Chain A
């Protein structure tokens, strides 16, 4: 099923064709992604939803170059990442992709600031001070930069992770249940930050979630079931998302 017919691959931040991922063999064989095309428009906040086992996490892993697809092509910012070797893929990841995870995933030994700067440090690049200042101020982390992760609250940790993802001005930021470990108020705060980064900074965001409230912050919701794309909602609300999900039998 084709959601949007792409003109050229460069129109999209992320674009994949015939994406196929199979786990196991014989009786344990699972088709996690059943060969479909998918594209994400630049500067939009897209949520991927679906019941457990629908393949939404696998889709994200493959799109981010963390997992190899068995078949198909994946373009990030016009680069075909399915042909890259590990080093090139790693470099692509640190330059063009940002991550925000469910369990914050900060390096416990480093301060908040060092965590934010880590991808640039790995690349051996200088950071743009003004940009860092902007992000830190926007995310309200100014007085927390010298703290270690364990000295920060869950919401603060997740904001550090968001700052880390935004600092490199990546082609796309992937979020894997970014509010899964947060209470609803802090979760809403982080989601607002993600949405405003799309609206104000033009940041492309792809978020995997099974929370209808979280999905309602997105511009577009893609629905998955059993390894296939089965629907799409524009300008979703909590009600439309919940309705669509119950239509999938979730």
Chain B
């Protein structure tokens, strides 16, 4: 049987191309997912471990052990400090020690404050991990080195003087002028890589932390030559215990790296799980395509299989010959898939290393798991998918060999059990989905989706061929090729179902994500609209007023429609800062224009209760204001100037002199502003008003941030699902090309009877478009329903859902499917059209 299977694979290798491609893409996806995980771990290892890569031993706090009661308040039991350093230094066999500290400092450059993380550099060559690009490592307490990325960004060079500030352990604010001694290479440590990174000497650390109060993230040790490292652990441990330290661990760098990664990579595993789910979807689609292809391959070989049966092949021998073929194809294609994934990942990482400086240490790791799991999974999927066709092959009767070659039609009646089971799943799933959507419970809704979708697929044989033939009848336009195409498309309902199902899965999931994301965006937009009463707020808590000419410039900025100036006039009894503004300008910036406080009223957030608020103006006059409560829960109380003057005794002139005087700005901006425009606007406003960028915020910014996140997620998810759609489209091409082979006789007959080449091609194209189009259409409908219900169950907590369907995107999905199906028909149609009428009739 192996001989026969090999001979088949060799002779008919072209017929296996589609199966191989589908399995290859599916397994490549799985392999790449596993490689992402392995590579991320490997990369973390290189980056986290970079600070102690060259050390012999690393001493760190032990976070895995819970502290005993009271020890929390005794720093000597758990803080690695200068005393700890001394204790280790005195141990016999230790050549050098260095305490790596990592403290937060503020850096004033170009008149602005930035957050920076300051790390100490070791003076000992063996322990130093800082790489300099220019200049020298800092010495003494008046020098620092700065990382290349930020030095470039803020135009800082060697010799510049910076002002840095920090808070000591005792809570004292310290600031100090320091000179830049050198520029260091960009940091790759994910724990420090995201902020400006300074390198400082031990004495500056002492100065910033307070005398004797420095605390280290870890202490690295260089041992004298020829010392046994494991043997050195004990004396160091006892020396440390001598200082009263309880919660610490002494490790070699390799041991430490393993522990650090375990603590750091929790989120990484989640990413892997999400990716694995998509890989699983891709594999299920692959399975459908494989099943379909094998079913057709068997149909083509009916006569040959019958001959084998006549000559004495047992049923199980026929089955095993098919399964051996599947095994070989699955194995080869899976191995090719792993190779493909390795190639893609290697290329991606190369690009990453070349373009993103922080990722310069990204490393490709291919572990045994990433090779074995995809090969086993791919082969298993292929085998399982080939099982049904193999059973069909087994039932071929020996007599089929002796009868004239009639068209091999494989009856495919949906099993009753499958239909009943499918219907039950759909009913239960739909109920759970509806309940989840009504109750706003995403978990129940998700369960409903997971239950109902396989149910729908099981019922596919009931509605898919019928829909195809109904739509075919509608669109045939009465032409012969059109009619023949719609009849051909459903002449083998089983095959049509399997082909369409593969596409249906992908399209359903893609459109579910699109509709869900769009609806979530719209609903969030509405929710944010009532939460944030204004588009943009400029609120610098450090207390500033803005010159009139700056305000005029801001108001004139591109995209700014209106501006209201809110001035602090006093405070409520509960301590809320109270603002006053001009009611007309307030009305122009509020998203809900009706909520303008009338005389004696104060506009407040939803956190306020009761009917009135007692407030005191800066002049000391107290009054009772009537509450006008909004839906927003983060809103400073606002009154009109008239109210402020009459009830609190505050006028524009009087408050300007007050120490607490400050101004908050509310802006209304153009709805059409995009993400980039908003960011530019934010920067421009911050620059003009001389405030930090984070002081410029508000509803529009939040909405844009949410939208960006949703768009990004949607893009990634759609990209992942596109793999499944791609595999499904290969299935369409495959079904069609095999149908053409199978119908060679019939197509020649049609040609002999007067069907032109063009008509034949058109007939096959119509058939492909019918199957692809109907699957896409049903997928979009189903996906939209899932998307809406899913969004409803997620957004239920935020209140009413705003239904929003991305018509254009959905139409795009259908268009892509139809065009791809059309493209899939080109090669088979050309082959069929090439055949001379007589040729086809003569062939078997």
Q: Chain A interface (Cβ within 8 Å of chain B)?
A: 57, 61, 66-67, 86-87, 90-91, 93-95, 99, 101, 103, 105, 107-110, 114, 118-119, 121-123, 164, 176
Which among B304, B313, B402 is the interface contact of A122 at CB below 8 angstroms? Answer: B313
Asked whether, in the complex, the Cβ of B311 is within 8 Å of the Cβ of A99, the reply is: yes
Measured between beta carbons, the chain A residues less than 8 angstroms from B310 are: 66, 93, 99, 105
CA distance in complex: A164, B309 (Å) = 14
Name the prevailing secondary structure of the A interface residues: helix
Q: Shortest beta-carbon distance, B145 to chain A, in Å?
A: 72
* A-B interface, 10 closest residue pairs, ranked by CB to CB distance from nearest: A94-B312, A109-B7, A109-B11, A122-B313, A66-B398, A119-B311, A122-B312, A119-B312, A93-B312, A105-B307
Asked whether, in the complex, the Cβ of B401 is within 8 Å of the Cβ of A122, the reply is: no
CA distance in complex: A176, B399 (Å) = 12
> A105-B303, A108-B304, A122-B317 given. 20 additional CB < 8 A pairs?
A57-B402, A61-B399, A66-B398, A94-B311, A94-B312, A95-B312, A99-B311, A105-B310, A107-B4, A107-B7, A109-B12, A110-B3, A110-B4, A110-B7, A114-B3, A119-B311, A122-B311, A122-B314, A164-B311, A176-B402
Q: Shortest beta-carbon distance, B395 to chain A, in Å?
A: 10
Asked whether, in the complex, the Cβ of B399 is within 8 Å of the Cβ of A91, the reply is: no
* Given A109-B10, A109-B11, CB of A118 within 8 Å of CB of B402: no
Measured between beta carbons, the chain A residues less than 8 angstroms from B392 are: none
Measured between beta carbons, the chain B residues less than 8 angstroms from A99 are: 310-311
Measured between beta carbons, the chain A residues less than 8 angstroms from B399 are: 61, 66-67
Which residue on chain B has the smallest CB distance to residue A57?
A: B402
Q: Shortest beta-carbon distance, A210 to chain B, in Å?
A: 15
CA distance in complex: A51, B712 (Å) = 77
CA distance in complex: A87, B394 (Å) = 12
Contact pattern, B 312-339, Cβ under 8 Å of A = 1, otherwise 0:
1111010000000000000000000000
Q: Shortest beta-carbon distance, B215 to chain A, in Å?
A: 76
Asked whether, in the complex, the Cβ of A122 is within 8 Å of the Cβ of B11, the reply is: no
Asked whether, in the complex, the Cβ of B402 is within 8 Å of the Cβ of A61, the reply is: yes
Which among A61, A91, A108 is the interface contact of B312 at CB below 8 angstroms? Answer: A91
Q: Confirm or deny: B708 has a beta carbon within 8 angstroms of a beta carbon on chain A.
A: no
Asked whether, in the complex, the Cβ of A105 is within 8 Å of the Cβ of B308, the reply is: no
Q: List 16 A-B contacts (CB under 8 A).
A: A61-B399, A86-B315, A90-B313, A90-B314, A94-B311, A99-B310, A105-B401, A107-B7, A108-B304, A109-B4, A110-B3, A110-B4, A114-B3, A119-B311, A164-B311, A176-B402
Asked whether, in the complex, the Cβ of A90 is within 8 Å of the Cβ of B312, the reply is: yes
Measured between beta carbons, the chain A residues less than 8 angstroms from B398 are: 66, 93
Q: Shortest beta-carbon distance, A170 to chain B, in Å?
A: 10
Q: Confirm or deny: B8 has a beta carbon within 8 angstroms of a beta carbon on chain A.
A: yes
Contact pattern, B 52-91, Cβ under 8 Å of A = 1, otherwise 0:
0000000000000000000000000000000000000000
CA distance in complex: A105, B313 (Å) = 15
Which among A86, A90, A101 is the interface contact of B402 at CB below 8 angstroms? Answer: A101
* Given A61-B399, A105-B307, A122-B317, CB of A114 within 8 Å of CB of B312: no
Measured between beta carbons, the chain B residues less than 8 angstroms from A123 are: 312
Measured between beta carbons, the chain A residues less than 8 angstroms from B309 are: 90
Q: Shortest beta-carbon distance, B8 to chain A, in Å?
A: 5
Contact pattern, B 397-426, Cβ under 8 Å of A = 1, otherwise 0:
011011000000000000000000000000
Which residue on chain B has the smallest CB distance to residue A88?
A: B314
Which residue on chain A has the smallest CB distance to residue B401?
A: A105
Measured between beta carbons, the chain A residues less than 8 angstroms from B3 are: 110, 114, 121
CA distance in complex: A103, B402 (Å) = 9
Contact pattern, B 441-468, Cβ under 8 Å of A = 1, otherwise 0:
0000000000000000000000000000
* Given A109-B12, A114-B3, CB of A101 within 8 Å of CB of B312: no
Asked whether, in the complex, the Cβ of B7 is within 8 Å of the Cβ of A122, the reply is: no
CA distance in complex: A101, B307 (Å) = 10
CA distance in complex: A237, B202 (Å) = 119
Measured between beta carbons, the chain B residues less than 8 angstroms from A176 are: 402
CA distance in complex: A154, B500 (Å) = 42
Measured between beta carbons, the chain B residues less than 8 angstroms from A93 are: 310-312, 398
Measured between beta carbons, the chain A residues less than 8 angstroms from B304 are: 107-108
CA distance in complex: A105, B308 (Å) = 10
Measured between beta carbons, the chain A residues less than 8 angstroms from B8 are: 109
Q: Shortest beta-carbon distance, A79 to chain B, in Å?
A: 15
Within B794-844, which residues are at the interface with A (CB < 8 Å)?
844
Measured between beta carbons, the chain A residues less than 8 angstroms from B312 are: 90-91, 93-95, 119, 122-123
Measured between beta carbons, the chain A residues less than 8 angstroms from B307 are: 105, 107
CA distance in complex: A103, B310 (Å) = 14
CA distance in complex: A91, B309 (Å) = 10
Q: Shortest beta-carbon distance, B11 to chain A, in Å?
A: 4
Q: Shortest beta-carbon distance, A122 to chain B, in Å?
A: 5
Which residue on chain B has the smallest CB distance to residue A105?
A: B307
CA distance in complex: A110, B9 (Å) = 11
CA distance in complex: A67, B402 (Å) = 11
**Most chain A Cβ neighbours within 10 Å, of B12, B303, B398:** B398
Within B288-312, which residues are at the interface with A (CB < 8 Å)?
303-304, 307-312
**Most chain A Cβ neighbours within 10 Å, of B310, B311, B315:** B311
Measured between beta carbons, the chain A residues less than 8 angstroms from B7 are: 107, 109-110, 114
Which residue on chain B has the smallest CB distance to residue A89?
A: B398
Asked whether, in the complex, the Cβ of A108 is within 8 Å of the Cβ of B314, the reply is: no
Measured between beta carbons, the chain B residues less than 8 angstroms from A119 are: 311-312
CA distance in complex: A126, B315 (Å) = 21
Which among B11, B313, B401 is the interface contact of A108 at CB below 8 angstroms? Answer: B11
Which among B10, B314, B401 is the interface contact of A91 at CB below 8 angstroms? Answer: B314
CA distance in complex: A6, B702 (Å) = 100
CA distance in complex: A90, B314 (Å) = 6
Measured between beta carbons, the chain A residues less than 8 angstroms from B844 are: 103
CA distance in complex: A114, B8 (Å) = 13
Measured between beta carbons, the chain A residues less than 8 angstroms from B401 are: 101, 105
Q: Shortest beta-carbon distance, A83 to chain B, in Å?
A: 18
CA distance in complex: A119, B307 (Å) = 11
Q: Shortest beta-carbon distance, A76 to chain B, in Å?
A: 13
CA distance in complex: A114, B313 (Å) = 14
Measured between beta carbons, the chain B residues less than 8 angstroms from A86 are: 315
Measured between beta carbons, the chain B residues less than 8 angstroms from A94 are: 311-313
Which residue on chain A has the smallest CB distance to residue B397?
A: A66
Q: Shortest beta-carbon distance, A69 to chain B, in Å?
A: 13
Within B541-585, which residues are at the interface with A (CB < 8 Å)?
none
Measured between beta carbons, the chain A residues less than 8 angstroms from B315 are: 86-87, 90
CA distance in complex: A101, B8 (Å) = 22
CA distance in complex: A86, B310 (Å) = 11
Measured between beta carbons, the chain B residues less than 8 angstroms from A66 are: 310, 398-399, 402
CA distance in complex: A175, B398 (Å) = 15
CA distance in complex: A94, B402 (Å) = 16
Measured between beta carbons, the chain B residues less than 8 angstroms from A101 are: 401-402
Which residue on chain B has the smallest CB distance to residue A65?
A: B398
Measured between beta carbons, the chain B residues less than 8 angstroms from A105 are: 303, 307, 310, 401
Q: Shortest beta-carbon distance, B325 to chain A, in Å?
A: 11
Measured between beta carbons, the chain B residues less than 8 angstroms from A110 are: 3-4, 7
Measured between beta carbons, the chain A residues less than 8 angstroms from B314 are: 87, 90-91, 122
Q: Shortest beta-carbon distance, A74 to chain B, in Å?
A: 15
Which residue on chain B has the smallest CB distance to residue A114?
A: B3
Within B480-513, which residues are at the interface with A (CB < 8 Å)?
none
Q: Shortest beta-carbon distance, A94 to chain B, in Å?
A: 2
Measured between beta carbons, the chain A residues less than 8 angstroms from B303 are: 105
Asked whether, in the complex, the Cβ of B11 is within 8 Å of the Cβ of A118, the reply is: no
Contact pattern, B 754-787, Cβ under 8 Å of A = 1, otherwise 0:
0000000000000000000000000000000000
Q: Shortest beta-carbon distance, A62 to chain B, in Å?
A: 11
CA distance in complex: A108, B10 (Å) = 12
Measured between beta carbons, the chain B residues less than 8 angstroms from A114 are: 3, 7
CA distance in complex: A66, B310 (Å) = 7
Measured between beta carbons, the chain A residues less than 8 angstroms from B11 are: 108-109
Contact pattern, B 600-625, Cβ under 8 Å of A = 1, otherwise 0:
00000000000000000000000000
Asked whether, in the complex, the Cβ of B308 is within 8 Å of the Cβ of A122, the reply is: yes
CA distance in complex: A108, B4 (Å) = 10
